[in-house]
Structure 1
Amino acid sequence: MSTLAEDILAFIGRSGYKPLKPKNLAKKLGVTKKRLSKFEEALDALEASGDIRRSSSGRVQPKTAAGLVAGVVRRTSSGMGFVIPHEPRPANIEGDIFIDQRDMSDAYSGDEVLVRLTGRRRSGGQRCGVIVDVLERATNTFVGTYFEEAGAGWVEIDGNNFNEAIWVGDPGAKGAQDEDKVVIEMLRFPSQHTPGEAVLTKVLGGRGEPGVDTLTIIHEYGLPDEFPEEILNEARLEAENFNPDDLGDREDLTKQTIVTIDPADARDFDDAISLERTDKGHWLLGVHIADVAHFVQPGSVLDREAQQRGNSVYLPTRVLPMLPEVISNGLASLQEKKVRFTKSAFIEFTEDGTPVHTRFARTAIRVTKRFAYEQVLPVVKEPERHKGKVPAKVRKLLADMYELAMTLRGRRFRRGALELDMPEIELEFDKDGRVSGAHEASHDESHQMIEEFMLAANVAVATKMADLGWPFLRRVHGSPTPMKLKAFSEFAAALGYPMKTAESRSELQKVLSEAKGEPEEYAISYALLRSLKRAEYSPAELGHYALAEDHYCHFTSPIRRYPDLVIHRLMDAIISGNATYAGPGIEGLTKLGLHCSTTERRADSAERELTQMKLLHYLESRIGDELDAVITGVERFGIFCRGTDLPAEGLVHISTLAGSEIFDFDRTSHSLIGRRSGETYRLGDRVRVSVAHVDVDRRELDMRLVKRLPQSGRRKKSHSPAGKSDRSDRKSGGRGQKNRSETRSKRSGPSKKRSRRRK
């Protein structure tokens, strides 16, 4: 072992060591710039040998001590939690590890922790443990509501992780006023034995003021916002140097008929389509993607900033772009009638959609016509009605695109692909920018057209790189475990959708197709998604399970995804035949994939959270309103319901279901079953509910059941015998259980959360 490796192990093995990023660790060890490459090599060797590990954020951690388990904690509002062990899991642990409230220490959701297993097991055999150390905090920054009491400033942190208000020192810091939303930096996390302490770092504005909810999410998730001036200056320099008339060695496609199809409110356009017939009668599809790599050179400040961000973040009322708008919304954006530089994938298909040849090129295009999704199908279905409005060559292009896309789509599903898209919530706003309603976003055949062409291009690029034997950043989706598929099969059967073979792709797609439009559709799709692994970025050759593809990567959105930009640079080498850009090796790609997967999940979570917040703000003034809903989740403490017209999801607590009735929870059929009446509430059932209680800060919506609605005749009626129901906690049924809002911590002083004065 090298002296440098020994120094690293000695330093991280010290008592009280807190995981550091490699750059900071090198600084602590006094590593000079000349030795940085040797330092990285030593880290890689130690990681490969298992002597160190790197966290999801890239921090260096010591090897887990014998008898301890490392993982990520998820804390519940009651104070207890669960630790999800890191992969590969220890052989003696199948599921998550339960942590009692008294054993949580000061760990909170998202923290990486070390757990010591105890001899205790829960009723279902689940292992129990005690948290002995917090390896790395998910964050030290939190957002909450400021108030003053007992001559001090306090902050009630948003969400349900912290039941106690956090002390922030003398009142009036940063000019904060009562009820302001503020950002704090935690100095000491609260535990059972010690109160929390923090410093107030920023005032966002008054609770409920326009835009404050967006700022709340930006700070809560640590999203990068404004660009530093040096980044903007480099982007401006690229704009000054861009000459659309100087095509160099690019193929000139500016005279071709090319269209873009995007959402009506899209701000950046990174893909365009051309399509024509060959002399053989084959299709020749051209997928033209914004050549972001032309403007963002490897190692530049623009590149480093884009890599750090990982992706753009699309919040309901605001976009946080990966690249400055001079590039993302200007130079690289494929705007109508403007000459733009692109990388093109030309794919030749036979009449039945079989790809027979691919070619890639650096090109220049001029988009003939920009379409919003909503404009496409009317032209395709009734072309004669659009004479004079849409040129004939464009009408023909759209008709051809539709024909080929539907052919490709049918072929893809016959090969075993799964359609797993969950409906997205689209908020509606009034003229003042406040939410006036919401609906599920449509995903019609116009969306499917573009989707099929983007998939085809991504597969073509990945297949080319795989054929060359090049390491590259793939988009992988590992196969699910047989145990997970078996559980889904049992779940689907309980809802009336039996499967012959749990591991059959065709059977899975059959269930999804049969459930489409039925009350169980959301539950079936969600349950299958939970059964599958999460798609991520990695150089590993794992294939893409949902798409049924051996080779897949992201190539089509370099404006908003950094992995696509990395692929574009490799494509330059393929197109030119000169590998001037080799890209990162396997180790570098693995780290980059982990980073980009993390920033992607962060962006998705932030978007969902802000959408939920805005929906809750909308519902605050609508207590008592009724809406039709579908049961989307069943737990022993109640049922979760999602509105059909207004897609808000809330909890109907078990204590509000039926007077003195006691309900048993049947895990197999995902049902609550009345012990005396036999009344059953099951996943997928249609119900009518009313809005009972809204708490925006805790992100909670309580509903009350108004009545059951007529159910689909699809499912078999099944009442599990009482002996087979999950009765491990009978306190969850009947009158003995308080409403969720009543079980929140008692607010008896400044160190506890206060009763809200606002409604």
Structure 2
Amino acid sequence: MKSENRKKKHSFKKIKKHNNFLTGIINITHQGFAFVKTKEYKKEIYISKYKINKSLEGDLVKIKLKKYRKNKLEGEVIKIIKRKTNNFIGILKLNFQSKYNYGSVTVHKLHVDILIKTNLKKEYHDNKVLVKIISWPNNSEKPLGKIIKIFGKPGEYKTEIQSLLEEYGIPTGFPKEVENEANKIFLKSKNDNASSIIRKDMRNVTTFTIDPIDAKDFDDAISVRKINSNIWEIGIHISDVTHYVKEGSILDREAYYRATSIYFVGKVIPMLPKILSNNICSLQPKEEKLSFSFIFNINDKGEILKNWFGKTIIQSDKRFTYDEVQKIIDEKKGDFHEEIYTLFRISKMLTKNRLKNGAIFLEKEEVKFCLDENKNPISLYLEKCNESHRLIEEFMLLTNKKICEFVSKNKKNSTKIPYIYRVHDKPDYEKIFFLKKIIKPLGYSFDSKNLKNSINLLLKQSKGKPEQNMIENLVLRTMSKAKYSTNNIGHYGLSFLYYTHFTSPIRRYSDIIAHRLLYSFLKIRNNKKNEKNKIKTTDFYEKQSQHCSNRERLAIDIEREFSKYLQVKYLKKFLGKEFDGIITGFTDWSVYIDLLSFQTEGMVKLRNIKGDHYTLSNTNYSIVGKKNKKTYQLGDKIKVRLLDVNIEKKQIILDWIEKKF
């Protein structure tokens, strides 16, 4: 131990001699003390609450190294280089005892309140607000702020959605000039009959869409035509958004900035104005629509005999929901039952081939909500992926794969153009090792040398068991994040060498890029030499790819956070009730438990577990009782009672019941 301390002191002297001043991002706890991560030092540097010097969570700070204390390197903030932000969202509390209605704003992500010295209306008390820090006087322990926007009472649907959009910087409406351009496109499209001249006419072929019951933007349609007893022609028709959204236009720049639609329960923030997304571009039934299509002939063995890519004009015969199609599959009767059952049969062959080639088969249940007329959650259910969902998924996967193969394999030096790929790297093997250690006590084995088969076997074996959701989440955490890139490394999870996103241009800008580049490639192949001059550099498309990836991750984060708000609000009605749970994680202070009925995590504080004093083990995989030495580990089944919920912090507080179910 003494030797270890001597090494640490020596290490500190070495760093101090080299550089006594470091910079990094500060992470401040609710207790006020903080940690700073720097490039020069592997471990985080401890900052006492008396030495953070008016810094706030996430700020870029300059610190001065001081000394080791309790095996921690300690420092002091000497300068705030850059605030992460000056704008915060919190709850306004007015002080009615003062002469004026002054108050403060409590921000759950900050360790201090923000003082407000402006006379405000009494009805704003306990409202959620946007506050801007305007100063931090030397003689004040708290910063001074100004109210910028008032959202309403916390916990209400409108308040939570508007404040969340504000926090993430998501615009709710479109600028006037964007709406004007969209309206002009709409009016022009009414008289645009010339488009059908250069397109393959598919209007007389049986065509339909299959979507969720509440969908309004229909990106894709499927056409089916029987060639003979063994061969079918199938067309995957994708809305030709790029016919309307011209590159470099005001509308295009707005779509690029947004990069994706964001889907909340009960509300959509679209990438394109609704007159486009829900009207002109949407492949609605009984209306002529412009599309970009992949059409192929396929036999009873699932072999593609020939294919074609190009612009088309279609007319959907019917709009199906997933439930309607599932009923037709189950009963083998109904509108277009022969076509639908043929598609279902082919989709099963496509799934089988994907799995045979090494694809990972992960089908998580999605948490869904039913809202009342006031947008309050009145019920929660877990939606399973059924055969109608898989039918559509397989044909979209096939289309994205085949289009990407077509461009990538047919490039020649004279027609070499960049393309946007959807790539997925190999898993993090440290996380795979962690997964292996976690599942072993639960009775599961894992062969790291045969990774994909092991993952699929693990997912299959855990299906229907209490630990299923935990294992699926652990598997997801081992995986790299899929992203967009001009550098093709393949898609590990799907086991595809070539893959792109082409099938959702109404809601994803990446697909718009893919459409434009494919169309340019087709024109170049048809000896339209001037087309090559219109294509930008690879660096240009790589920058666009990175932007689309970043906006996608932001959309995922905001959708998850809003879903968590609805889960917490829904659970409020079950206070005092007992539930079954699975231990999914530990910290020094808490145990996290997945409530099986709701697939959401709650928290039990270690100090509140009755009967013993529990501490985190050295492995971080279990907690151990000080007196009885009883051990609880990840995956253990626990009974809990719902004590409280905090909608603002999106926390579920549980009480530990001393028994397993």
TM-score scaled by length of structure 2: 0.86
Match of 1:700 in 2: 651
CA contact (8 A) 2:364 2:384 kept: no
Residues 259-317 of structure 1, C-alpha deviation per residue, up to 9 Å, x if partnerless? 21111111211011124455694554321111110110011110011111111111122
Match of 1:260 in 2: 209
Match of 1:415 in 2: 357
CA contact (8 A) 1:122 1:128 kept: no
Match of 1:587 in 2: 539
Question: 183-192 or 595-604, which moves further after superposition?
Answer: 183-192
The aligned runs of 1:348-747 (5 Å cut-off) are 348-349=297-298, 351-355=300-304, 357-384=306-333, 386=334, 390=335, 394-467=336-409, 468=411, 469-501=416-448, 504-577=451-524, 578=528, 579=531, 582-659=534-611, 661-666=612-617, 668=619, 670-706=621-657, 708-710=659-661
Q: Aligned partners of 2:22 and 2:81: how far apart in 1?
A: 11
**Secondary structure of 1:236's aligned partner:** helix
Q: Aligned partners of 2:472 and 2:422: how far apart in 1?
A: 21
Summarize the Cα distance change of 1:188–1:276 in structure 2 as closer, same or farther, 3 Å threshold: farther
Summarize the Cα distance change of 1:130–1:484 in structure 2 as closer, same or farther, 3 Å threshold: farther
Summarize the Cα distance change of 1:296–1:144 in structure 2 as closer, same or farther, 3 Å threshold: same
Q: Aligned partners of 1:97 and 1:355: how far apart in 2?
A: 56
Match of 1:144 in 2: 90
Q: Aligned partners of 2:62 and 2:408: how far apart in 1?
A: 39
Structure 2 gaps, min length 5: 1-17
Match of 2:131 in 1: 184
Residues 688-734 of structure 1, C-alpha deviation per residue, up to 9 Å, x if partnerless? 32221222122222111235343xxxxxxxxxxxxxxxxxxxxxxxx
- Using the TM superposition, give the Cα deviation of residue 685 of structure 1 relative to its aligned residue in structure 2, in angstroms: 2.8
Summarize the Cα distance change of 1:499–1:410 in structure 2 as closer, same or farther, 3 Å threshold: same
Summarize the Cα distance change of 1:492–1:129 in structure 2 as closer, same or farther, 3 Å threshold: farther
Residue type at the aligned position of 1:463: E
Residues 425-483 of structure 1, C-alpha deviation per residue, up to 9 Å, x if partnerless? 21122243211121222222211111111111111222223222432222222222333
Residue type at the aligned position of 2:114: I
Question: 251-260 or 579-588, which moves further after superposition?
Answer: 579-588
CA contact (8 A) 2:438 2:634 kept: no
- Using the TM superposition, give the Cα deviation of residue 72 of structure 1 relative to its aligned residue in structure 2, in angstroms: 6.0
- Using the TM superposition, give the Cα deviation of residue 322 of structure 1 relative to its aligned residue in structure 2, in angstroms: 0.7
Match of 1:749 in 2: none
Q: Aligned partners of 1:234 and 1:295: how far apart in 2?
A: 10
- Using the TM superposition, give the Cα deviation of residue 116 of structure 1 relative to its aligned residue in structure 2, in angstroms: 8.0
CA contact (8 A) 2:582 2:596 kept: yes
Question: 100-109 or 466-475, which moves further after superposition?
Answer: 100-109
Residue type at the aligned position of 2:654: M
Q: Aligned partners of 2:137 and 2:260: how far apart in 1?
A: 33
The aligned runs of 1:229-308 (5 Å cut-off) are 229-243=176-190, 245-246=193-194, 247-276=196-225, 281-282=230-231, 284-308=233-257
Summarize the Cα distance change of 1:340–1:146 in structure 2 as closer, same or farther, 3 Å threshold: same
**Secondary structure of 1:519's aligned partner:** coil
Summarize the Cα distance change of 1:122–1:262 in structure 2 as closer, same or farther, 3 Å threshold: farther
Q: Aligned partners of 1:113 and 1:344: how far apart in 2?
A: 53
Q: Aligned partners of 2:407 and 2:74: how far apart in 1?
A: 46
- Using the TM superposition, give the Cα deviation of residue 343 of structure 1 relative to its aligned residue in structure 2, in angstroms: 0.5
Residues 653-695 of structure 1, C-alpha deviation per residue, up to 9 Å, x if partnerless? 1222232x12243465822233443443332333332221222
Summarize the Cα distance change of 1:704–1:191 in structure 2 as closer, same or farther, 3 Å threshold: farther
Summarize the Cα distance change of 1:398–1:563 in structure 2 as closer, same or farther, 3 Å threshold: same
Summarize the Cα distance change of 1:181–1:248 in structure 2 as closer, same or farther, 3 Å threshold: same
Which of the residues 141, 163, 168 maps onto 2:116?
168
CA contact (8 A) 2:606 2:615 kept: no
The aligned runs of 1:150-161 (5 Å cut-off) are 150=98, 151=100, 153-158=102-107, 160-161=108-109
- Using the TM superposition, give the Cα deviation of residue 141 of structure 1 relative to its aligned residue in structure 2, in angstroms: 2.7
**Secondary structure of 1:248's aligned partner:** helix
Summarize the Cα distance change of 1:133–1:668 in structure 2 as closer, same or farther, 3 Å threshold: same
CA contact (8 A) 1:485 1:502 kept: no
Question: 451-460 or 129-138, which moves further after superposition?
Answer: 129-138
Residue type at the aligned position of 1:199: K
CA contact (8 A) 2:291 2:314 kept: yes
Q: Aligned partners of 2:272 and 2:204: how far apart in 1?
A: 29
Q: Aligned partners of 1:192 and 1:514: how far apart in 2?
A: 62
- Using the TM superposition, give the Cα deviation of residue 70 of structure 1 relative to its aligned residue in structure 2, in angstroms: 7.5
Summarize the Cα distance change of 1:82–1:304 in structure 2 as closer, same or farther, 3 Å threshold: farther
Residue type at the aligned position of 1:171: N
Summarize the Cα distance change of 1:186–1:628 in structure 2 as closer, same or farther, 3 Å threshold: same
Residue type at the aligned position of 2:90: G
CA contact (8 A) 2:29 2:111 kept: no
**Secondary structure of 1:398's aligned partner:** helix
- Using the TM superposition, give the Cα deviation of residue 145 of structure 1 relative to its aligned residue in structure 2, in angstroms: 1.4
CA contact (8 A) 2:60 2:83 kept: yes
Summarize the Cα distance change of 1:108–1:611 in structure 2 as closer, same or farther, 3 Å threshold: farther
Summarize the Cα distance change of 1:301–1:115 in structure 2 as closer, same or farther, 3 Å threshold: farther
- Using the TM superposition, give the Cα deviation of residue 348 of structure 1 relative to its aligned residue in structure 2, in angstroms: 4.5
**Secondary structure of 1:633's aligned partner:** strand
Match of 1:319 in 2: 268
Count matched residues. Answer: 628
CA contact (8 A) 1:289 1:557 kept: yes
CA contact (8 A) 2:26 2:61 kept: yes
- Using the TM superposition, give the Cα deviation of residue 74 of structure 1 relative to its aligned residue in structure 2, in angstroms: 5.5
Residue type at the aligned position of 1:663: Y
Match of 1:741 in 2: none
**Secondary structure of 2:448's aligned partner:** coil
Residue type at the aligned position of 1:234: E
Residue type at the aligned position of 1:696: I
Q: Report percent identity of matched pairs.
A: 28
RMSD: 3.3
Question: 566-575 or 249-258, which moves further after superposition?
Answer: 566-575
Q: Aligned partners of 2:167 and 2:128: how far apart in 1?
A: 11
CA contact (8 A) 2:86 2:132 kept: yes
- Using the TM superposition, give the Cα deviation of residue 329 of structure 1 relative to its aligned residue in structure 2, in angstroms: 0.5
Residue type at the aligned position of 1:167: L
TM-score scaled by length of structure 1: 0.76
Summarize the Cα distance change of 1:502–1:189 in structure 2 as closer, same or farther, 3 Å threshold: farther
Summarize the Cα distance change of 1:233–1:510 in structure 2 as closer, same or farther, 3 Å threshold: same
Summarize the Cα distance change of 1:548–1:381 in structure 2 as closer, same or farther, 3 Å threshold: same
**Secondary structure of 2:268's aligned partner:** strand
Q: Aligned partners of 2:54 and 2:487: how far apart in 1?
A: 36
CA contact (8 A) 2:102 2:116 kept: yes
**Secondary structure of 2:492's aligned partner:** coil
CA contact (8 A) 1:142 1:184 kept: yes
